[in-house]
Amino acid sequence: MHHPKFVLFFDNHTMKACPDVGHNYHADEFAQNLKEVGADLVGFHAKCNQGFCYYDTQIGVRHPSLPAGFDLFGETVRACKERGIAVSAYLNCGLSNEDAVRHPEWCMISPDGTILHPDVYNIGWVTPYMRTMCLNSPYREYLLSMIREVRDKYPVAGFLLDSFNGFPCICPHCVEGMRKRGMDCRKKEDVLEFGRLSALRLATDISDLLRPKENGLLVYFLGISARDNARIGSYLECECLPTNPCWGYDYLPLMSRYYRNLTDGPVLNMTGRFYDWGDFGSLRPQAAVEYDLFFGLANGMRPNIGDHFHPRGDISRGVVERVGKIYEKLRKYDEWFEGAKNRVDIGVVLPGAIGKNPSLVGLTRMLSELKMQFDFIDEDCDWSPYSLLILPDRVTLNGKLAALVKKHLDAGRTLLATGRSGLNPEGSAFLFEPEWGVKYRGECDYSPAYFRLTGDFAARVPDMPLAVYTAGLRTEALPGSTVAGKVVAPYYNKHWDGIYSYFYAPPDKETELPFLVLNDRTAYCAFPLFEGYYNLASVDLRNVLALMLEHLLPSPLLKTDSSLPSFARAFVTEAGNRRMVHLLNYLPELRGKALIVEEELPLVNVKLGLRLDGATVDKVYLAPEKREIPFTVSGDILSFTVPEMRGYCMVVTEVKK
CB of 177 to Zn ion, least distance (A): 8
Q: Residue 413 CA to chain centroid, in angstroms?
A: 27
Identify residues 122-151 at the interface with Zn ion (CB under 5 A): 134, 136
Query: Given the complex with Zn ion, which of 105 and 589 has the nearer CB atom?
Result: 105
CB of 173 to Zn ion, least distance (A): 5
Query: Given the complex with Zn ion, which of 89 and 116 has the nearer CB atom?
Result: 116
288 contacts 254 by C-beta, under 8 angstroms: no
CB of 179 to Zn ion, least distance (A): 13
What is the DSSP secondary-structure string of 408-444? Answer: HHHTT-EEEEETTTTB-TTSSSBTTHHHHTEEEEEE-
Residue window 227-246: x/- pattern of binding to Zn ion, with contact defined by CB under 5 A: --------------------
Query: Given the complex with Zn ion, which of 137 and 368 has the nearer CB atom?
Result: 137
Provide the 3-class DSSP secondary structure of residue 448: coil
CB of 275 to Zn ion, least distance (A): 34
CB of 645 to Zn ion, least distance (A): 54
CB of 92 to Zn ion, least distance (A): 17
CA distance 120 to 16: 22
- Contact between 174 and Zn ion (CB under 5 A)? yes
* Contact range with Zn ion by CB under 5 A, out of 8-16, 162-170, 427-435, 618-626: 162-170
CB of 170 to Zn ion, least distance (A): 7
Residue of 317, 530, 288, 512 lying closest to 421 (CA atoms): 530
Q: How many CA atoms lie within 13 A of 648 on its CB side?
A: 24
CA torsion sign for 609, 365, 225, 87 is negative
* Contact range with Zn ion by CB under 5 A, out of 56-64, 169-177, 215-223, 545-553: 169-177
Provide the 3-class DSSP secondary structure of residue 8: strand
Query: Given the complex with Zn ion, which of 45 and 173 has the nearer CB atom?
Result: 173
44 contacts 157 by C-beta, under 8 angstroms: no
259 contacts 267 by C-beta, under 8 angstroms: yes
Query: Given the complex with Zn ion, which of 14 and 97 has the nearer CB atom?
Result: 97
CB of 124 to Zn ion, least distance (A): 24
CA distance 319 to 326: 11
Beta carbons within 8 Å of 256's beta carbon, 6+ residues apart: 238, 269, 295, 296, 299, 300, 301
* Contact range with Zn ion by CB under 5 A, out of 143-151, 170-178, 204-212, 295-303: 170-178
Query: Given the complex with Zn ion, which of 102 and 341 has the nearer CB atom?
Result: 102
C-alpha radius of gyration, the chain, whole number: 27
7 contacts 303 by C-beta, under 8 angstroms: yes
Binding residues for Zn ion, rule CB under 5 A, total: 6
Query: Given the complex with Zn ion, which of 197 and 612 has the nearer CB atom?
Result: 197
Kindly report the backbone phi and psi dihedral angles of residue 534, in degrees, each rounded to the nearest multiple of 5, phi listed first.
Answer: -60, -40
- Contact between 202 and Zn ion (CB under 5 A)? no
Query: Given the complex with Zn ion, which of 164 and 386 has the nearer CB atom?
Result: 164
Query: Given the complex with Zn ion, which of 111 and 324 has the nearer CB atom?
Result: 111
- Contact between 169 and Zn ion (CB under 5 A)? yes
CB of 178 to Zn ion, least distance (A): 10
Q: Which residues of this protein are in contact with Zn ion, per CB under 5 A? A: 134, 136, 169, 171, 173-174
